[in-house]
Amino acid sequence: MNAAINPIFTSVPYPSEYLVTMTRFFPQSRHSSVSWGQTDSDLHSILIHRRRSEAGKLSSPMWACALQNEVYRDRPGTDTLPPHSSHPPMTGKHNSRLSQAAFVPSVSVLGMKRSNIITIALSSLPAPRLLPPAIYAMDSSVLDREDVQRLRALIPTEDELGLIKEAKAQNPHAPLAQAELCLLTLGEIPHLSTRLELWAFALDYDSLEKEIAEPLFHLKLAMEQLAASQTFRYILATVLTIGNFLNGCKARGFELSYLSKLSQVRDTHTRQPLLHHVCLLLLQLRPDSSDLHSDIAAVTKAAKYDYSQVQSSFTQLETMCKASWEQLKILEKAEDRQNGGKMDRSKSANEEVSENSLRHRLPKILKDCEERLKVLRAVHRRVINRFHSFLLFLGYSHSMVRDTKAEDFCRNISNFSLEYRNARQAIILQRERDQQKAVAGIPAPGTPVGRRKCQQEPSQDSDEQCRLEKVLRTPELSSRVDITVPQSRRRTGDIKGVPCKKMTW
């Protein structure tokens, strides 16, 4: 490199004694040159950098600092440098022939599908030579949870290892393909499957515990919110009063599944659902009541879980914890045999597993998981028992308690709360419209003044209705057949519908 051309190097004092010493230490006849890419920094960029440095934005140029802090080799150290070749590099036909002669096809014995799966997984994994030390130490800084799952899918079988070793013995000078080299490297790790399963359990325990504890927490909170909701009590009391009035009885309670039918039962006069009348009564008698849905947010969350799956997940987690203890014992016995006899080659080639690694903390981690499982078992039992007691508190019988699922109960209450909120908002919006019309001097259609005004000033719809009634009352038109007029009429008693005179619960 020419220091007189590059302005970066001109910014640093470069004594001529260094050049003399370097020429004496590195004679061109003995050592090869260094093949590097030189930086082409012009004087303009250096001046700009100096201006920014003076403004306090940047420091001095990188290569200038490197030359100031450079430590040159002593003469005895130059003996290890490669010798300089006086022959010019071969180009053209000579170079192509040499590359063809040096090219050796890699050994591949795996199927195309298996090889592609391994190659795709290796694109997201470190180099195969870095995998054994990371697996021995269970180093999460090298391999994360997803990498461990990929490695579990790459565990080689005995048949695959046998094919790879046989092909390697037949072609000792040929390199292995990428997939075969990875499987051979993983196959040299003893108890690979046990190590990866232990590692995966230690990494996944928190998420597995959360999948069980979170639904139980929402179910417990849902029961507390339902018991503390005054609006829910008002609704139950109102529905019970209406039902006793219509049925002519004095029931002390009803099944909560009937709440989902309030929007389906309609009265015979205004054809409004029974839920509409419940909302009207509550807005009149209990104006301080809420929309219910905002009071029981935990019920909506609890309705999204499958509590039978929670029970099976808890059983599976207990099984995995017991299996992890057995796997840890297998690893400890294998390591004791290795320490007593010959040390593992891959482990001795790398560094010994540190004391702070996950592998050494596994006994403590598994013991902590076992203690947390005991707490989780007690929480699960108490929450389910409390849910059964809550159903008894709501009037359910013991047989109904055994058959009622927590997710179904929460889903029914959540759906009813949504219907109640929508009906309540519709009534409030209608009242606001009526108030706006009253302020503007336009009486609402539901009021007596509005009805009289509608009778005095009939609209286009009322005109058509009057014409239709006139046609129906005209006797001479009864003999003619008119397709626009219905030919037969039924009595009111023959109309099919759900009467509101009796409630079945």
Q: What's the 3-state SS for 56-83?
A: CCCCCCHHHHHHHCCCCCCHHHHHHCCE
Q: Where are the domains of the chain?
A: 112-189, 191-337+358-438
Query: Would the pLDDT of 431 be above 70?
Result: yes
pLDDT in tens, 58-96: 444 555 555 555 554 454 555 555 555 555 555 555 555
Burial 351-360 (b: 16+ CB within 10 A, else e): eebeeebbbe
User: Domain spanning 191-337+358-438 has what CATH number?
Assistant: 1.20.58.2220
In 10 A of CB 257, how many CB atoms? 15
Residue type, 452: R
pLDDT at 179: 87
Q: Which of 167-171, 229-233, 296-300, 449-453 has the lowest mean pLDDT?
A: 449-453
pLDDT at 374: 94
Once rounded to an integer, what is the mean pLDDT over residues 250-257?
Answer: 86
pLDDT in tens, 100-157: 545 567 778 888 898 899 899 988 888 888 999 989 888 888 889 999 999 988 888 8
Q: Compute the chain's Rg from CA coordinates.
A: 43
Query: Would the pLDDT of 52 be above 90?
Result: no
SS3 content of the chain, % helix, strand, coil (to 5): 65, 0, 35
**Integer Cα distance of 236 and 278 in angstroms:** 10
**Integer Cα distance of 192 and 198 in angstroms:** 10
Query: Would the pLDDT of 6 be above 60?
Result: no
pLDDT in tens, 12-36: 444 555 444 445 545 554 545 555 5
Once rounded to an integer, what is the mean pLDDT over residues 389-404?
Answer: 91
The answer to whether residues 107 and 168 touch, using CB atoms and an 8 Å cutoff, is: yes
Q: State the number of CA atoms in the 13 A half-sphere of 38 facing the CB.
A: 12
At residue 268, φ and ψ (nearest 5 deg) are: -85, -10
Once rounded to an integer, what is the mean pLDDT over residues 199-213?
Answer: 92
The answer to whether residues 358 and 138 touch, using CB atoms and an 8 Å cutoff, is: yes
* Backbone torsion region of residue 356, taken as left when φ is above 0, otherwise alpha when ψ lies between -120 and 50, otherwise beta: alpha
pLDDT at 420: 92
pLDDT at 242: 87
How confident is the prediction for the chain on average, in pLDDT?
Answer: 76
In 10 A of CB 183, how many CB atoms? 26
Torsion, CA 457, CA 460, CA 464, CA 466, rounded to 10: 0
Looking up tokens 């000033």 gives 457
Once rounded to an integer, what is the mean pLDDT over residues 386-414?
Answer: 92
